Structure 1
Amino acid sequence: MKGKNQKLKLLYLAKIMQEQTDDTHALSMSEILAELAKHEILAQRKSIYEDLAALDDYGIEIIKERDGSKTLYHCGNRTFEIAELKFLVDAIQSSKFISEKKTRELIKKLEENISVYDAKLLDREVKVTGRVKNMNESIYYAIDSLHNAISEDKAIRFKYFSWNVKGEEEFRRDGAFYNVSPWALHFDDERYYLIGYDHDKDEIRHFRVDKMREVELTNKRRKGKMKFNKQDKAKWSEQYFRMFGGEIETVTLKCKNEMANVIIDQFGKDAWLHPIDDEWFTASVNVAVSDQFLGWIVALGGNVVITGPESAKERMKGLVEKKFVE
């Protein structure tokens, strides 16, 4: 007599072994037959021996071992080790651009790669100070559209917004579409940026992907390849995104010696450092000068000061003279 789902026997057997067994949990042949019966599958021991061997040949490692008078079977190697999955779960939970809902969905999918017992080990909550999860899931579909546009050599159009004082989305350019040729996606400081050629501005610009709405592929081929290729991608990304944008220029800094580690961490080993005396050194860095960059200097409490160029010094003077409290 055969069960209702007899043709699915091998598939259900693989599912049972992958979900119900691991290195510390195994099933006897009687238990395997009982699990199959729950899915309306009746089988003889001999056929299960053959099926387990077939799964092992296919690549689902089935380990057979003795426990006293019983023979037990469990699934061995996995696509992911539990330590790797914990790492992925931590990364997903700590990422602010992934919404709470999508976080749960992704972790659930990761749990499908391990046993139900190991899945409990993934039930962990990573606490990250000041980390606010993204509330809008449209970013996933926008990123997918942007990748498609880049691979298909298509220009795109989208609407771009800023937050107003009421906490509402307010579209720029009076709600008109931006026409852009996408050339690269950049991930920096927990955010995705599109690097693209703005058709209307005739320049390479960056856009926060989470602030893009109604992303659409057009039938037009991309433009601005020569302008994009002129960019030093690694340096441009580091300088532009790390300090939030602005014109790139060489800035000279006078720094306390204990700030050497801070300067190299921030600007990399390409930063030019030269000792002045036993207490100070000078550093030349290429950076997009902005209020954020100047604020970073202020936060170092006088241990780093700007010595040139004059334009950067004047911007700093203007910043510190502003009224920040009332």
Structure 2
Amino acid sequence: MAGNERRGEHQKQKLLYLAKLFTEETDAQHALGMAEIIEKLADCGVNADRKTLYLDFQELQDFGMDIETVKAGRNTLYRLASRRFELPELKLLVDSVQSAKFITDKKSKDLIAKLETLVSKHEAKQLQRQVIIAERIKTMNTSVYYNVDALHEAINAGCQVRFQYFQWNLKKEMELRRNGAWYQISPWALVWDSEYYYLVAYEAESRKLKHYRVDKMKRISVVDAAREGLESFRQFNTARYAKSLFGMNGGEETVVTLEAKNDMVGILIDRFGKEIPIMPIDDEHFRCRVTVAVSRLFLGWIMGLGGDIRIVSPPQVVAKMTDEVQRLAAQYPQKKP
């Protein structure tokens, strides 16, 4: 009878409540004494004594929880010493979630709240960070994360997808392209570039690989039809493609030779990677060859670097740069004083 009186309302969940207590209340900097543990368990409707708790601690350790005993003067304290994610790792994830344009503000807060559950309530305060992103514009399409999931499903199943594609008009309204006509393509890869997700897919009509911004896709559905374009994708290097693009604005991939001053080498390595060949010309200049999708954005990027870098080959890319410079000069004619 006395034993029944000592049973708490939630006695069968004793180990679960104890694990929850260690997870939420303790960490490498915060520990609990035996009396505190007994009191907090009692608040949860669980009765415990020292003898049984020692056995419970061992059960949790055998299960894989890093329960650690520490001395604080004459007191013995207990804490969860390590977790699957370290605090610096979670801080990095929080910063990534906050700065990602393809995640809405509301979803960012929801995801960060979930990340906070992976640490103690003390460390969770350190995850409530505000990353300053200059002129950050978060997406207004709340379905983007479901789009990504649907596209992964289609890629894994080897199926085609069907969707509508939109653009913004001057009234700041979503306007469907092709008058609302459906796109049906074969998805092959997802690329994250400039904080947006893009789908690389094969379009049967043009027999080419194209890319689509995922947050501008609507009503995605998986089609029960096998993917096409395997041969095209086999010749496709996803990592090189993403590196060669500037804002995913397309353009034909071309090997371009650049000539620059030595202090520009860091900018090129940051953009194209350490694998680019560096060929010294003299004590102050070098040449390198990079694979890029030649677009106006690429040409504008070169212009933005000033006179310390220039395109020297191939001739057709040099001609495109010349045309672009002349176009801009005509667009901004010099006024006579």
TM norm structure 1: 0.91
Residue from 7, 13, 35 that aligns with 2:12? 7
Q: Distance in 2 between matches of 1:61 and 1:83?
A: 19
User: Following the alignment from structure 2 to structure 1, what is the Cα–Cα distance between the partners of residues 278 and 12?
Assistant: 71
Cα deviation 1:205-260 (Å, max 9, x = unaligned):
11111111111001111111111112233323322356631112233333333333
For 2:182, the equivalent position in structure 1 comes to 177
- Quick one: distance in 2 between partners of 1:248 and 1:96? 26
Give, in whole Å, the separation in 2 of the partners of 1:64 and 1:265: 47
Gaps of 5+ in 1: none
Residue 104 (structure 2) pairs with residue 87 (structure 1): no
Paired residues of 1:243 and 1:289 also in contact (CA < 8 A): no
Following superposition, the deviation at residue 103 of structure 1 comes to 1.5
Tell me the distance in 1 between the aligned counterparts of 2:281 and 2:55: 77
Report the equivalent of 1:107. Answer: 112
1:289 to 285, 294, 302: 294
Partner of 1:130: 135
Alignment counterpart, residue 254 of structure 2, candidates 229, 249, 254: 249
Q: Which residue of 2 aligns with 1:70?
A: 75
Partner of 1:301: 306
Contact 2:163 2:183 in 1 (8 A): yes
Helix, strand or coil: the match of 2:110? helix
- In the superposition, relative to structure 1, how do residues 130 and 8 fare at CA in structure 2: closer, same or farther (>3 Å)? same
Question: Is the contact made by 1:243 and 1:293 (CA closer than 8 Å) also made in structure 2?
Answer: no
Aligned to 2:62: 57
**Alignment-derived partner of residue 36 in structure 1:** 41
Give the alignment's Cα RMSD to 1 decimal.
2.2
1:260 matched to 2:275: no
Matching residue's letter, 1:173: R
For the 8 Å contact 1:243–1:290, the answer to whether it is kept is no
Which range moves more in the overlay, 177-186 or 76-85? Answer: 76-85
Structure 1 residue 166 corresponds to structure 2 residue 171? yes
Offset at residue 158 of structure 1 (A): 0.8
Match of 2:148 among 132, 139, 143: 143
Q: How do 1:216-231 residues align onto structure 2 when only pairs under 5 Å count?
A: 216-231=221-236
Q: 5 Å matches for 1:172-211? A: 172-211=177-216
> Following TM superposition, by how much is the alpha carbon of 1:98 offset from its aligned partner in structure 2, in angstroms?
1.9
- Residues 174 and 242 of structure 1: CA distance in aligned 2, closer, same or farther (over 3 Å): closer
Structure 1 160/124 Cα, relative in aligned 2: closer, same or farther at 3 Å? Answer: same
Look up the SS of the partner of 1:155 in the other structure. Answer: strand
Distance apart, 1:149 and its partner CA: 0.6
Identify if the C-alpha distance between structure 1 residues 247 and 37 changes in structure 2 by more than 3 Å, giving closer, same or farther: same
Aligned CA distance change for structure 1 residues 267 and 27 (closer, same or farther; 3 Å): closer
**More deviation in 185-194 or 274-283?**
274-283
CA change 1:243–1:293 in 2 (3 A) is farther
Identity %: 45
Q: Is the contact between residue 97 and residue 134 of structure 1 (CA under 8 Å) also seen in structure 2?
A: yes
User: Residue 145 of structure 1 aligns to which amino acid in structure 2?
Assistant: A
> 2:116 matched to 1:120?
no
The verdict on how the C-alpha distance between 1:315 and 1:65 changes in structure 2, with shifts beyond 3 A counting, is closer
Matched, 1:98 2:103: yes
Q: Secondary structure at the match of 2:179?
A: helix
The change in CA–CA distance for 1:300 and 1:68 in structure 2 (over 3 A counts) is closer
Structure 2, gaps ≥5 residues long? none
How many pairs does the alignment contain?
A: 326
Aligned residue in 2 for 1:240 = 245
1:194 partner letter: L
4+ runs deviating over 6 angstroms: none
- The separation in 1 between residues aligned to 2:131 and 2:238, in whole angstroms, is 33
Secondary structure at the residue paired with 1:302?
helix
Which has the larger displacement, 259-268 or 131-140?
Answer: 259-268
Q: Distance in 2 between matches of 1:259 and 1:68?
A: 59
**Deviates most, 274-283 or 292-301:** 274-283
Q: Which moved more, 1:202-211 or 1:304-313?
A: 304-313
Report the CA distance between 1:284 and its aligned residue: 3.5
